[in-house]
Structure 1
Amino acid sequence: MKFVFFVLCLLMSVSAVGVEKEPLAVKVFIAGMFEIGGNQGDKAGEFQHWFERYFVDTAPITVKGALSPVFCNQDGVCGSVLGMGKVASSSSMQAIVLNHQFDFNHSYFIVSGVGGVPPSQGTIADVNWGSWLIDYDLGHRWMPDEGIAGEPVFMPRQGYEDIRRYQLNSRLVDLAVGLSKDVQLQDSAEAQAYRMRYTQPQARRKPTVTVGTHIAGDTFFHGPGLSAQAQYISQLYGADDYMIAEMEGVAIAQVLSRTVGIDRLLSLRGAVNFDQGNPNETTLAHLDPAPGETAGGFAETVENIALVGEKVVDYLVENWADFKDGVPAH
């Protein structure tokens, strides 16, 4: 009798294993940070245009510990809204990457969102591919009047050397830039007029696709002084010029570096504001603009992000046999 009971239990166990679903093999994972309302049919945030392109006919997949459901289509493209800030986004990313419903062993990741741009480096509605991801924090800061006049007021803290900066795969970044550099970007009359308040040539031009360092902090830093500090940190860490201020990239990179690696990670950001006011505007006025004084161009920028990013997503899927095992050397 005990033998029969054992056999029945074994058969039940084998049967249960047999009906378990195979993990979804993810080719490309698209990570937005926030959505304004729903995923379609209203004002678009960072994920809606991706959803409308890839996930309209898909069912949500609940992941314990993640802010929002994951959506996956039949081509192996998945995506989700992770949450704003380093903690919210990275905790969602870790929950998703470690979830048994997905196979991320060959996946490419696109961190997709908006950010600020220094007027010396870019303009409203630009779309920028990150070459480096840097943490704006993880150091010591002090008030300028408590230090040496004219000297930096930031010092990196020892012990964070491996997590305060990440250089992304240059072959993958170059591929992304090459595929998307000629995309016709959206623009608006409001954004065009706003740019003219600035004197820098880069701030006044039409939007384009660029590449450079993305620096993440949990505070929205503004003003020429803090912008200069971000550039100082980028130079201190041996990275490219600071191009985009954002809140999540380096934290998501740390999660991926501990799990599946960052060789297949891309960071894609659209510029929706300048990181400082124009010459006739104080930093506080820039932070809290009067009615009619905002930058404009948000709707166009989030559309531009998807227009640029889809070139890479579609290329990877269409050429999956060449990219499944990594970015080809040539």
Structure 2
Amino acid sequence: MSLLNSRRFSLGSRGLALCGAVLLATACASTSPTADTRAAAAAPTGAPVKVKVFVAAMFEIGQNTGDRAGEFQHWYERYWKGATPVAVPGALQPVYCNADGVCGAVLGMGKVNSSSSMQAILLNPKFDFSQAYYVISGVAGTPPQRGTIGEVNWATWLVDYDLGHRWAPEENKPGEPTFMPRKGYEEYRRFKLNPDLVGWAMKLSADTPLKDAESARKYRLRYPDAAARRAPFVGTGTHMTGDTFFHGPGMSKQAQYIAKLYGADDYVITEMEAAAITLVIKRTHGTDRVMSLRGAVNFDQGHPKESTLQHLDPAPGETAGGFAETVENIALVGTRVVDHIVKNWPTWSVGVPKP
């Protein structure tokens, strides 16, 4: 849920088919190199690139720069303008690196798409990930009881929403959960991210001035929840990874039930990739240096006067707004952490310092 249902609202539900075609055909199309020799010098020429921080986005709307920004564009413009794209067999899009060891790529939407790209990149001999930090970055949804449009959230836990047994509510006792964990998935259905790293992320970024939009401010007022009506902020909590685009108060309660069942923090973000990408990283380098950073562009349920189906397929002008501001907020928050790590690399290269 870097979240396609998030994207459904932010990009306009009736334009989803066109957007999907664009994403499949031209997602994160590379731009022509410029005279930025510092960035271009980072292209691998022999020895592998020593990656200090890898930024993973899931989609770009069009080009990497100069048009409407998706999840990758603000990162690209900050770190890789003019960098030579490095093609990686098995990855959806090329990798870009700068001379400071900051690399990034668009991995694709959904668990299989993104994790297969991450695996290909991690195993490619052009890169040395032995000391790398990871920022899994994208847009998401949030329950109105705990979040708001435009907020940016660092994950404390990653939980896989899909690994278990489910059945129809009418086949259940009224009011009881319709989900049961499946045995055998204990090692990869949840990940507790490094608390020290989360602490650093908040320490460095909690006071970041965030963008907001008038359309988002008006949209929030449709919800009675105090959290939903908040201005954008930087927070933490559990990120729920699911290929199922769940909607409505019932599914939201189930996500919270699963988070608590697994011993995680409150569910605050719904997305589509982070747990799967983290599993790939865990098998090669562990999870101590993994961060998940998401910006909320929609609520996971309609307001009290709106049905779930209306929320799924809003009429023109009824979407949340604030998409452009949110993708900028994500980069504003995330670059503070990336820049700090790179600037203080002698300390960070050996591990996460105590906050």
Q: How high is the TM-score relative to the length of structure 1? A: 0.94
Distance in 2, Cα, partners of 1:327 & 1:69:
28
Shift of 1:199: 0.1
Distance in 2, Cα, partners of 1:255 & 1:156:
21
Shift of 1:329: 3.2
Aligned pairs for 1:60-139 (under 5 A) are 60-139=85-164
Which of 142, 145, 150 is residue 175 of structure 2 equivalent to? 150
In the alignment, residue 240 of structure 1 is paired with which amino acid? Answer: D
Shift of 1:106: 0.3
- Is the contact made by 2:162 and 2:244 (CA closer than 8 Å) also made in structure 1? no
Distance in 2, Cα, partners of 1:218 & 1:42:
28
Give deviations 1:280-301, integer Å, cap 9, x for gaps. 1000000000011000000000
In the alignment, residue 63 of structure 2 is paired with which amino acid? Answer: G
Residue 340 of structure 2 corresponds to residue 315 of structure 1? yes
Stretches (4+) displaced over 6 A: none
Residue 289 of structure 2 corresponds to residue 269 of structure 1? no
Shift of 1:220: 1.3
In the alignment, residue 166 of structure 1 is paired with which amino acid? Answer: F
Question: What SS is found at the alignment partner of 1:277?
Answer: coil
Give deviations 1:111-163, integer Å, cap 9, x for gaps. 00000000000100000000000000110000011011111000000000000
In the alignment, residue 155 of structure 1 is paired with which amino acid? Answer: M
Residue 326 of structure 2 corresponds to residue 301 of structure 1? yes
Structure 1 equivalent of residue 277 of structure 2: 252
Structure 2 equivalent of residue 25 of structure 1: 50
Shift of 1:67: 0.2
Structure 1 equivalent of residue 75 of structure 2: 50
Question: What SS is found at the alignment partner of 2:295?
Answer: strand
| Number of residue pairs matched by the alignment | 312
Aligned pairs for 1:83-232 (under 5 A) are 83-232=108-257
Question: What SS is found at the alignment partner of 2:183?
Answer: coil
Distance in 1, Cα, partners of 2:167 & 2:285:
37
Distance in 2, Cα, partners of 1:78 & 1:286:
37
Residue 297 of structure 2 corresponds to residue 288 of structure 1? no
Which one has the largest radius of gyration? Answer: 1
Distance in 1, Cα, partners of 2:103 & 2:116:
18
Residue 264 of structure 2 corresponds to residue 239 of structure 1? yes
In the alignment, residue 67 of structure 2 is paired with which amino acid? Answer: D
Shift of 1:227: 0.2
Shift of 1:254: 0.5
